[in-house]
Chain A
């Protein structure tokens, strides 16, 4: 026969000047050690204060539930500590914010090699008279006015501490990245001007520059060599329908599941090709162009385009076509491969 002993103390510690009554209750339950122990301890603390509105109200509930296991025990031992704390305000003053702080620490340890479970539960319960809403959220936001200094930190820390050496290894993985972007969709010029909205990222990619390139007006000018030009050829600006082509080496693969995977190493070559057509060249310009091509064939030249941008590269169409359209009117079309200097 298991021995069961129950002992209860009810102690009145005193009375306050108001209608509050403070009591302390201590209950101890002993179970037979030869049986499987099931130990329930229900402890509640309820205090009702009738005080002035200006006085602070503090209520502290400390609950400790220890479980000691002695000797070999080949079964799981679980220890759950559930702690709920809620505030109910029937008259919510407009100038105060009801605070509800729940600190919860749940630990479990055992000296044997059977499984140990540790569980932390957070339960938030909201009660109001007209509307019941239960929300548990982790939100961090910042709202500042113009010119304010913005600092926003969100920290999630996951720590695994090893307090012993066991046969099983310990592993911990936590992947957390953050990025930020923004846009001003109401700006009427956002679809016309150079306005990339560049925030902050992981650093894997180099974002585009936020300042617009400076464009000017110029005349198509070819120079050779690029470093210290000794030969210069000035042509008319090309016709419309010029093409600026960006060519990237990428690998496109489709998996068995139908997912498109695109990979490219940033060090793989990227080519930029300008394809232009120049009309109305004179006989003299044609001769100068042929001479320039013969001199700079396969070598790096400079190209100053009609927007004042300096390129360096080479002409990749050595057999370009010079068409004699009519008297004093010759047309050429060539491709230039290079990069902005």
Chain B
């Protein structure tokens, strides 16, 4: 996994190990359902291309310090995230606060929440 910032004038690249399983992705569409007095159901949809990604990372202590420095530099910038599947996303790190947990000696865990749009998908042939 790789994160780069700031977009579009990228100047810093940080390479991270792949996240643990149970990573998640959720679209950020909204549906508001209303029912009228005669029973008719109305649904109002606000759709967009944003997705929220969530990754659990287990990092070495030095890599955690590198990620910490990256977040301190670019917490307000749009970043580019290239995940373990090769998908490229542009968006923001939305975790607040960023919690670095000392899991064991020299091992730090963190959960990154990212919200953005997919700018470069991966074709199925690349995944096979």
User: Is A134 in the interface zone, CB < 8 Å from B?
Assistant: no
Report Cα–Cα, A322/B24, bound state, in Å. 38
What are 28 A-B contacts with C-beta separation under 8 Å?
A181-B12, A190-B15, A191-B16, A192-B63, A196-B14, A196-B70, A198-B11, A198-B12, A199-B11, A201-B11, A205-B73, A205-B74, A207-B73, A208-B66, A208-B70, A242-B102, A243-B100, A244-B68, A245-B100, A247-B96, A247-B98, A248-B75, A248-B96, A259-B48, A262-B76, A262-B92, A263-B76, A264-B75
Residues of A within 8 A of B22 (CB): none
Stretch at the interface among B2-10, B32-40, B118-126: B2-10
Q: Is B11 a contact partner of A258 (Cβ separation < 8 A)?
A: no
Q: Is A197 a contact partner of B71 (Cβ separation < 8 A)?
A: no
Whole-angstrom distance between the Cβ of A177 and the nearest chain B Cβ: 5
Q: Which of A177, A195, A202 contacts B15 (CB 8 A)?
A: A195
Q: Is B15 a contact partner of A191 (Cβ separation < 8 A)?
A: yes
Within 8 A of A (CB), among B60-109: 60-63, 65-66, 68-78, 91-92, 94, 96-105
User: Is A42 in the interface zone, CB < 8 Å from B?
Assistant: no
Whole-angstrom distance between the Cβ of B36 and the nearest chain A Cβ: 25
Chain A, Cβ-Cβ closest to B61:
A215
User: Is A240 in the interface zone, CB < 8 Å from B?
Assistant: yes
Q: Is B99 a contact partner of A244 (Cβ separation < 8 A)?
A: yes
Q: Which of A201, A209, A241, A247 contacts B9 (CB 8 A)?
A: A201
Interface size on A, residues (CB 8 A): 52
| A243 with B99, Cβ < 8 A, contacts A194-B65, A258-B48 known | yes
Residues of B within 8 A of A207 (CB): 11-12, 73
Q: Is B4 a contact partner of A181 (Cβ separation < 8 A)?
A: yes
Whole-angstrom distance between the Cβ of B114 and the nearest chain A Cβ: 11
Q: Is B6 a contact partner of A205 (Cβ separation < 8 A)?
A: yes
User: Is B49 in the interface zone, CB < 8 Å from A?
Assistant: yes
Within 8 A of B (CB), among A203-257: 204-209, 212-213, 215, 240-248, 250, 252, 254, 257
Report Cα–Cα, A201/B71, bound state, in Å. 17
| A258 with B75, Cβ < 8 A, contacts A198-B11, A199-B12, A209-B69 known | no
Q: Is B98 a contact partner of A245 (Cβ separation < 8 A)?
A: yes
Q: Is B101 a contact partner of A241 (Cβ separation < 8 A)?
A: yes
User: Is A180 in the interface zone, CB < 8 Å from B?
Assistant: yes
Report Cα–Cα, A257/B47, bound state, in Å. 9
Q: Is B50 a contact partner of A208 (Cβ separation < 8 A)?
A: no
Whole-angstrom distance between the Cβ of B10 and the nearest chain A Cβ: 5
Residues of B within 8 A of A254 (CB): 48
Q: Is B70 a contact partner of A201 (Cβ separation < 8 A)?
A: no
Report Cα–Cα, A29/B102, bound state, in Å. 88
Residues of A within 8 A of B96 (CB): 247-248, 250
Residues of B within 8 A of A263 (CB): 76
Q: Is A208 a contact partner of B97 (Cβ separation < 8 A)?
A: no
| A266 with B97, Cβ < 8 A, contacts A199-B12, A258-B46 known | no
Q: Is A183 a contact partner of B13 (Cβ separation < 8 A)?
A: yes
User: Is A182 in the interface zone, CB < 8 Å from B?
Assistant: yes
Report Cα–Cα, A207/B6, bound state, in Å. 10
